[in-house]
Amino acid sequence: MKPLSECRLYAFVDTAYLHGRPPELVARQLCDGGADLIQLRAKTSSPDEIRRMAEAILPVTRPAGAGLVVNDQFAIACEVGADFCHLGQEDFFDAGFARVSQLPAFESRPGIGLSTHAPDQARLAMAAGADYIAIGPVHATPTKPGVKPVTLDYVRWAAANVGIPWFAIGGITLLNLDELLAAGARRICVVSAILDAPDVAKACAEFRKWLV
């Protein structure tokens, strides 16, 4: 895959939005649309199911030059050889970790992304050695029901203060993308606006052309 610093569009194979579509098929469509990173997010699936999905997606993402991110499941990300594992605050700091180097040792270790919802969390994530952080949710989003949006104020703060790659996430659509870019975002995560589109590859490409 390309260097993380050059990644702009972070898309998802989220089982809550597949509606019966095979994960590897959706991954192919995302790659065709120009996604740089693709996260497998399967909140209600068993570890075995997540492992099987990751193993089916990797032969799609690798030749396309897209990075595979496994959500939450660090051991599975290591075992299948995923490029990254994304962890929430509860999976990392609340679980007693302060540094990425404290995560269990495996023969293959993926890069680590951490979710952040405020400047203090971003500072801790950078100090912990995260490879990238997510900034959000910027807007209200069905993927995080009941979570208060961080608004564009946090995006502006990140643009001025975060020294590692960061991705804005949460309720991002083509209709609000321009204001997000104006606030300083250069990398974005998009879930429903792509996965719910009639043509996933086309929707992906529409976002990608704004990210230069």
114's CB contacts (< 8 A; 6+ apart) are 86, 87, 88, 89, 92, 125, 128, 130, 132, 133, 134
Q: Check pLDDT > 90 for residue 141.
A: no
pLDDT of res. 14:
98
The two tokens of residue 188 are 């974005």
Nearest to 13 by CA among 32, 30, 36: 30
Report the mean per-residue pLDDT for the chain: 96
SS3 25: helix
**Secondary structure in 3-state letters for the chain:** CCCHHHCCEEEEEEHHHCCCCCHHHHHHHHHHCCCCEEEEECCCCCHHHHHHHHHHHHHHHHHHCCEEEEECCHHHHHHHCCCEEEECHHHCCCCCCCCHHHCCCCCCCCEEEEEECCHHHHHHHHHHCCCEEEECCCCCCCCCCCCCCCHHHHHHHHHHHCCCCEEECCCCCCCCHHHHHHCCCCCEECCHHHHCCCCHHHHHHHHHCCCC
Mean pLDDT for 55-82 is 97
Q: Check pLDDT > 80 for residue 146.
A: no
The two tokens of residue 59 are 């032969």
Residue identified by tokens 């992304």 is 113
Q: Check pLDDT > 80 for residue 145.
A: no
pLDDT of res. 159:
98
- Taking CA 12 as the corner, what is the angle to CA 7 and CA 17, rounded to the nearest 5 degrees? 160
pLDDT of res. 50:
98
Q: How far apart are CA 178 and CA 65, in angstroms?
A: 27
Q: How far apart are CA 1 and CA 63, in angstroms?
A: 9
Q: How far apart are CA 146 and CA 144, in angstroms?
A: 6
pLDDT of res. 176:
97
Side-chain half-sphere of 117: how many Cα atoms within 13 Å? 12
Domains and CATH numbers, the chain: 4-208 (3.20.20.70)
pLDDT of res. 37:
98
With contact defined as beta carbons under 8 Å apart, do 18 and 195 qualify? yes
